[in-house]
Each structure stands twice: as structure tokens, then as C-alpha cells.
Amino acid sequence: MDNPLPSRFATHAVGNQPSPFADLDLFTTDRALTEAVAREGAGWAQPELAEFGRRLGSAETLELGRLANAYPPVLRAFDRYGHRRDEVEFHPAWHAMMALFVGQGLHASPWSDPRPGAHVARAAGLLLACEAEAGAACPIVMTHGAIPVLRAADPALAAAWLPKLFSRAYDPGFRPVGGKAGALIGMGMTEKQGGSDVRANATRAEPAGEGAYRLVGHKWFLSAPMCDAFLVLAQAPGGLTCFFLPRWTPDGEPNALRLQRLKDKVGNRSNASSEVEFQDALAWPLGEEGRGVPTIIEMATHTRLDCALGTAGLMRRALAEAIHHAEHRSSFGRHLADHPLMRNVLADLALEYEAAVALAMRLARAFDAGEDPAEAAFRRVVTPAAKYWVCKRGPAFAAEAMEVLGGSGYVEEAPLGRLYREMPVNSIWEGSGNIMCLDVLRAIARAPAALEVVMTELRSAAGATPLFDACLRQLEARLAAGVTEEEARSVVQSLVQVLQASLLLRFAPAAVSDAFCASRLREGGTQGAFGTLPAGLATGEILARARPG
């Protein structure tokens, strides 16, 4: 007799669920990004980026991103016999993601192959990479920022290290760099007694002969402690100085970095961040004694752009997940995306992402311009401004995208929780919001001509709409009157949103630029929840443009 239990307990069938979000082409389906790559001078890179986007969007790679975060790194401070080990162990998924990113050249390609548009191409690749797994971007970003510092400050040291840093072979082995196929660089600035105030650093550096120094002290955050070398700050006899500190000494012994613990972070779980003590660790100065902050700021300028790019990548993944869900999930007789209020929410998110991409890729072009005075001035003002505003919008963006999925987005099987937890690190790391806004004010005060370069860019869209012209005049008046510290956030927000509007008015479809101006440039700008676009905008066209596949 047949067992009746299966039919009796078949209480429901699974329905009204979207298909799995996988096996996507992350690049060619992103019209905002593909257009920006061509516009900003890297059209030659589109075939390679398309292949990279397909690899990143595969079910296999997206699963690697999940696993790397589900199984975070573990510190092995000692071996079983009690000897110092000071190593970090990672899940194989982490190493697979690192191999993919290094193989794409995201850590060094603009320096190893400095063709026109190289920074734009690399910026697009980093944005795509962060859609799949953002934690692995940390050592990639720091290596990219450290290379120009090393080249400028110590050509001899650079000559010894650059072949390994330029390599596209990922080599996680814990051994001297001479026996490795490739190398990566981390960073340590923050100490317990002073976070943003790096001049309060207490780590000491004493000359040890033949140009070397011995460092004694600590770092409250040593980013990516598995790297082969680090840029660190320490107090030399002549003042705060930047040092190059390798994991292994020239005689083949592990350097005296004592990893104390790994940070238990809110997000960025796949990546290791550690506390470390230096016990006569051997290091070499980069630049003059007492010039540590100006030296390492060169690195920070690049990493701050990458913070904006990383946030944009997280935005795109969150937006794509939300649109995919809303276009396949039904409620009250129609798809979620067919409800006007949901279209408003999704279109508002799409506008924020497109504006972030336009700004970040325009800024990347400024890095391609090298020492061109105008573009260098543009970088000086816009880099901290873009990092502030794009990264500040990230957490609210991810939270709204998660809400589109409802309870299904709030559970760990979906990636939205991971994206949400990842967002704040880009705002905090490499200078928090206040530091960025004060940096903008300093740039304007020290080089008024730099502000005029930015204003010239803004004025390129003058006459496009009365609303834009009015906001531009208001911004000019505020800047001319002088900006107090208390006003810094407000003015930087306005500067960025007017710049984003200028870019969209010149380069985006009218549906996008009109909606952005109507929402972001109205009195007060975008301050509250997403989904508050004025009635009558072309939300259907905006969503069609943002659709992930």
C-alpha cells in the first residue's frame, strides 16, 4: 500500500519567489558604468571589463563572496609548541577572490601599464569587484595607494619591490618576498590614543644604522596584516615619519610584528584587521623625518577615491538585488515593481547610484591626468568631498534596498545584510566624514584657484535648468561668504550634489538628470528617506536603465 504521508503533509508549494540572482554580466548590464568608462577615456578596456563582469557575476564567484564572509579569518599567534607564529589563516574562498582581483591587476595596473585611461579602467574594475566581495578590496586598495609613495620616496627600495608588486600572481605564502610570485602592502596609522589625530602617535623609531630604523610601539589598527609589507607612522628623532616595514627582514627572519588580536568588526568580516605591537621591528623611512603625514597623504588620496568606488559597487549590488526581487515578486495582484510607490523607491535608489558612478569615474579621470595643474586641483578638492558624500549615503541606501526584500532581505541567506554592514567602513576608513569636510575647507583656503577649477566644471551645465542655475548661484554665494567649520558638512554636500547634477545634465538621459535635479536640488536637498521623488517623473525609464539583466 502507498504511504499517504507525503500528500498529507504537502502543505504548500513554494511560489512567488524570484529566480536566483546569479550568472549575470555585472558590467555590460550596468549602463551608467559602461557609459562612464567610455566617456572618461577607457573605452579600450570595455571587452576586458565585460569578461571580468561575467566572472564576478557567476554563481560560483558570488558564492565565494558569501563563504569568505561566513568563515572569517583566524589569528594563529603561536604554533603548537609555543613559538611565535603571527599568521592569519583564511578560508579558501578568500584566497580565490584575492587571486581573481590580483589577476585583474586591480592592485597595480595603472602603475605597471600607465596608458591613457588606466585609472578609469581600474576604477571600473574595483567597483565591479566590490559587488561580489568588498572585503578583499582592502589589501588591493592599499597596495595601489602605496606604490606611488614608494616610487617617489625611495627609488632604490621601489626597484627591489615593484616587480613583485606589479605581478598579477597572488601568492599568500608567509615567507620572504624574494621567494614569492607577488606581493601586497598594508598600512598602520591609527593608535589607541589618537585615531584621526595621527600626530598623537606614540610609536618610536630609532636609527639602527645603514639607513634603517627600529620601531617600538603599537597600532590599534593594522590593516590587512597578512600583507608582505606596511606603510606605518612613527616618531623619529626629527618628528612623525612614514616608514616601510616588511614582514621579513633582509636576513630572512620574521620581522618583530607581534599580532595581538584580530578586530571583531561590524562588517568587512572577510578581511583581517589587527592590533599589533612592534618590538624593535626593522623599517626604512619613506621621505624626510618629520614629513610623515604629507608622505602618507599621497597614499590616502588614492584610497579615498577607492572608498567612493567601493561604496558605489555596494550600491549597485544592493540596487540590482532590489530590482530583481521587485520585478519577480507579486503582491496585491501585480509585481512589486509595478506599484507606483515601489517604483519611486527603486528609481530614487537608481538615481543615487548613477550620480555616484558619474562622480567617481570623473574623479578617476582626474587621476589619469597626472600632474596637469587643473586636474590636480580638481582631485585635491573633489576627492575628500566625494568620499564624504557618496560614503555617507551608503548605509541608508543599503537599508532601503534591504527593505524592498522585506523579511527575505533581513536574513543572512540574502546578501543585503552583508552589504549593509559593509557600508560604514568606507565612511570611517581613511578619514571620517568630519575629517573629509575639513579637508575640503583646507584645500579651498590654501588654494583658492583649486575651487575655481571645480566651479568651472560645475558651470559647464549652466543654463540646462533654472533649478540647477539657482543652486549653482546659491553655492557660489555661500563659498564667497566664507564657510565656518559648523557649516562644513552642509556646504560639502551641496558642492557634491551640484557637481553630480552638472555631470548628469551633460551626460545622462533627460529622465535621469531631470529627476535628480528635481529631487536633490530642491530646497534642503536629499536628507530623508529614499522614495520621496516628486510626482510625474519618468520612473519607468529610470528603472529600465538600471535593470541588472
At position 54, the amino acid (one-letter code) is R
Please enumerate in sequence order all residues whose Cβ is within 8 A of that of 199, keeping only pairs 6 or more positions apart, or say none. 240, 293
* pLDDT over 50 at 1, yes or no: no
Calculate mean pLDDT across residues 22-35: 96
Dist CA 39 CA 500 (whole Å): 15
Dist CA 172 CA 501 (whole Å): 43
Calculate mean pLDDT across residues 14-30: 93
Dist CA 217 CA 148 (whole Å): 26
Site of grid cell 568620499: 387
Mutual angle of helices 539-546 and 340-368, in 10-degree steps:
50
Dist CA 377 CA 99 (whole Å): 35
pLDDT of residue 527: 63
3-state DSSP assignment of residue 163: helix
| Cα four-point dihedral sign 288, 292, 296, 301 | negative
Dist CA 105 CA 97 (whole Å): 13
Dist CA 513 CA 511 (whole Å): 6
pLDDT of residue 528: 76
pLDDT of residue 405: 97
198 vs 284, more confident: 284
Rounded to the nearest 5 degrees, what angle is found at the Cα of 131, between the Cα atoms of 183 and 541? 145
Going by pLDDT thresholds of 50, 70 and 90, the confidence category of residue 116 is very high
Site of grid cell 530614487: 348
Dist CA 309 CA 127 (whole Å): 5
As a whole number of Å, the end-to-end CA separation of the chain is 49
- Phi, psi angle pair for 57, to nearest 5°: -85, 0
pLDDT of residue 113: 96
Going by pLDDT thresholds of 50, 70 and 90, the confidence category of residue 4 is low
Calculate mean pLDDT across residues 309-333: 96
DSSP 270: T
Mutual angle of helices 292-328 and 118-132, in 10-degree steps:
50
Going by pLDDT thresholds of 50, 70 and 90, the confidence category of residue 525 is low
Dist CA 66 CA 47 (whole Å): 27
Going by pLDDT thresholds of 50, 70 and 90, the confidence category of residue 105 is very high
* pLDDT over 90 at 128, yes or no: yes
Share in percent of the chain as helix, strand, coil (round to 5) = 55, 15, 30
Going by pLDDT thresholds of 50, 70 and 90, the confidence category of residue 10 is confident
pLDDT of residue 451: 95
Going by pLDDT thresholds of 50, 70 and 90, the confidence category of residue 15 is confident
Please enumerate in sequence order all residues whose Cβ is within 8 A of that of 434, keeping only pairs 6 or more positions apart, or say none. 196, 488, 489
Q: What is the pLDDT of residues 424-466, one digit of tens each?
A: 999 999 999 999 999 999 999 999 999 999 999 999 999 999 9
Going by pLDDT thresholds of 50, 70 and 90, the confidence category of residue 480 is very high
Within 10 Å of residue 334's Cβ, how many Cβ atoms?
9
Please enumerate in sequence order all residues whose Cβ is within 8 A of that of 73, keeping only pairs 6 or more positions apart, or say none. 88, 89, 90, 91, 94, 226, 262, 270, 271, 272
Written in H, E and C, the secondary structure of 7-19 is HHCCCCCCCCCCC
Going by pLDDT thresholds of 50, 70 and 90, the confidence category of residue 197 is confident
Percentage of the chain beyond pLDDT 90 is 91
Task: For residue 85, count CB atoms less than 10 angstroms from its CB and return exposed for 0-12, middle for 13-18, buried for 19 or more.
Answer: middle
At position 387, the amino acid (one-letter code) is K
Please enumerate in sequence order all residues whose Cβ is within 8 A of that of 379, keeping only pairs 6 or more positions apart, or say none. 301, 363, 366, 367
Q: What is the pLDDT of residues 35-93, one digit of tens each?
A: 999 999 999 999 999 999 999 999 999 999 999 999 999 999 999 999 999 999 999 99
Site of grid cell 591609527: 190
8 Å CB contact between 60 and 49: no
Q: Half-sphere exposure of 456 toward its Cβ, with a 13 Å CA cutoff?
A: 10
Calculate mean pLDDT across residues 409-426: 96
